[in-house]
Structure 1
Amino acid sequence: MSLSSKAWDRFLNLVLRSDVAQINRVEWLTDVLYPFLSITELEQLATEPPHRFLSVKVLNHIANQEIRRHSELLAMGSAGSSLTGCVATWVGIPTELAQYSVNLVLLIQKLAYLYGWDDFYTYGAVTTETRARITFLMGSMLGIREADELLRRACHSYQGQVSITPMRYAGDRSPIDKVIAEISKRLLVLSAKGGITAWVGRKAPLIGVTLGASTSYILVKPSLVRLKVFLRDLVVVCPS
């Protein structure tokens, strides 16, 4: 792995070890699917994917609700970062990066679990596989071709059991360095946006807050929708 990839690995490991960034698959699916499934079906979610019991249309509806919720959280977080930037720009930028990263990691897990992936954690522990799944799904969310190709190959090679497919996170055949380089570019754009809105917030707080919230929503939501569509298509093309 390159130096930038190693830095990403340490950063992602730090984010994932926080309780606020982890989703318990069974607990979350049970909570969100309770109105749609019987008690017996809910109990089977421990070993079965949701699309065994629900149509893709219902899964899409739930996914859209989660995308809307996290888009709004990101917009509010960006507004808060702009206010923080009124005090000091160097405080506003890391605040926005932190809330951006946590919200994306949370939504990636929710969408993956909704469309059939198994638990990202081994008895609650963060592993190399955990970081690989988050990284490649984030890469796909951002439209990185190499991440899409890896996930599609896994889908076809393992007959739909994408969730148990080892993701190559290191080695010459892994696209990890390319994917992380592209993710880093997006984070630089976010940092630049955070710096601009924080600077504007120092001059005109109301404008800074409005600019931070609106630009965050516009920049992020299309990527979240893209990931939903990609995961949905994997379910349709490679049903487990």
Structure 2
Amino acid sequence: MAGKEIEDPGSYFSAVLVAAAKLPGVRINREAYLRKALSRQCSDEQIKAAIEDTPAAAGIPLDILEKAANDSIKYETAKVSAMSAAAGLPGLVFLPATVPADLAQYLGHMLRISQKLAYLYSWPDLFSGEGDDIDDATEGVLTLFVGVMFGTQSANTAVGKLAEAMAKQVAKKLPQKALTKGFIYPLVKKIATHLGKEMTKQTFARSVSKAIPVVGAVISGGLTFATYRPMAKKLKNHLAGLEITKPTLRVEDIEVVQDHEPSATGYVEQSDGDDDAASR
């Protein structure tokens, strides 16, 4: 796959994302994570309210959320960098096995930090269903989050629009229609195509970095550290500025958000103490 043009980059990205989401330890248990991330600076009552509702509805100050977010980014960056370096050790002869594994674990860590940041900044549970399957709405929102991490402006726009709709309707679930059929869906498809192309470029770069054992490990781990942390910071900063993060917001006992089509003028294009016990 490295260095080759793929026929459908969007489908390729979707397939890798779904595979990464099924890896052990990738799915974050929202309740366990919030309880651990907030335990140092929040009361039991605040933590309970954050879990049952959202951190915003619990009135948790943004500076506490930022501290927890930064701790999680630090933890995940160290973990993914170490794993990337380990994947670089076998050398050129093992490239067909190590590059796909490295890519999957890298995207898996992007999904881990995406979930953690989303839960801190008052997004609903992304994997609330049973089983290994990932539904289309969750795949869509995770695609957008990864797009934000890659610096894709259309992903910033789409995430902002979703947050606006959820803030207005104060819902506990993702807007299924908008993500799978409505006004956000074309952006999700476009972003997935862009990410699929970027992913093949990164796969090629990782192949080159792993060509020499030991040296390849250092280069691979360093490359991961240099890219992962800034990308996670991009997502954190974007989510922190959205309407649903504000501590004054209250979430009603509503199950499904109403999907709103934009008007003609309204649409603008730790260690944090985490461990695998905090993941499904």
Shorter chain as denominator, the TM-score bin is: 0.7 to 0.9
Cα distance 1:55–1:238, how it changes in 2: closer, same or farther (>3 A)? Answer: closer
In 2, Cα distance between the equivalents of 1:25 and 1:66?
A: 14
Q: Which residue of 1 aligns with 2:179?
A: 168
- Unmatched tracts of structure 2, length 5 or more: 1-6, 250-280
Tell me how far 1:129 sits from its aligned partner: 1.4
Q: TM-score, normalised by structure 1?
A: 0.87
Of residues 67, 78, 94, the one that matches 1:72 is: 78
In 2, Cα distance between the equivalents of 1:124 and 1:46?
A: 19
* 1:131 partnered with 2:139: yes
Return 5-14 or 220-229, whichever deviates more.
5-14
In 1, Cα distance between the equivalents of 2:243 and 2:68?
A: 15
In 1, Cα distance between the equivalents of 2:232 and 2:43?
A: 29
Of residues 1, 4, 12, the one that matches 2:17 is: 12
Return 107-116 or 155-164, whichever deviates more.
155-164
In 2, Cα distance between the equivalents of 1:7 and 1:215?
A: 23
* 1:227 partnered with 2:239: no
1:83-232 mapped onto 2 (5 Å cutoff) = 83-85=89-91, 87-125=93-131, 126-159=134-167, 161=170, 164-166=174-176, 167-170=178-181, 174-201=186-213, 205=214, 207-232=215-240
In 1, Cα distance between the equivalents of 2:245 and 2:114?
A: 20
Q: Which amino acid aligns with 2:38?
A: L
1:81–1:92 Cα contact (<8 Å) kept: yes
Q: Which amino acid aligns with 2:186?
A: S
Q: CA offsets, 1:141-187, max 9 Å, x none? A: 11111111111122334436486333423578521222012212331
Structure scoring higher RCO (CA < 8 A, sep ≥ 6) equals: 2
* 1:36 partnered with 2:48: no
* 1:60 partnered with 2:56: no
- Unmatched tracts of structure 1, length 5 or more: none
In 2, Cα distance between the equivalents of 1:237 and 1:34?
A: 19
Q: CA offsets, 1:96-124, max 9 Å, x none? A: 10210111111100000011111012333
Q: Which amino acid aligns with 2:232?
A: L
In 2, Cα distance between the equivalents of 1:123 and 1:190?
A: 32
Q: CA offsets, 1:116-138, max 9 Å, x none? A: 11101233353111111111111
Number of residue pairs matched? 235
RMSD of aligned alpha carbons: 2.4
Tell me how far 1:65 sits from its aligned partner: 1.1
In 1, Cα distance between the equivalents of 2:223 and 2:140?
A: 29
Q: Which amino acid aligns with 1:23?
A: I
2:65–2:121 Cα contact (<8 Å) kept: yes
Q: Which amino acid aligns with 1:34?
A: S
Tell me how far 1:232 sits from its aligned partner: 0.4
* 1:26 partnered with 2:36: no
Tell me how far 1:224 sits from its aligned partner: 0.9
Of residues 50, 70, 92, the one that matches 2:55 is: 50
Return 95-104 or 147-156, whichever deviates more.
147-156
Return 124-133 or 114-123, whichever deviates more.
124-133
2:81–2:221 Cα contact (<8 Å) kept: yes
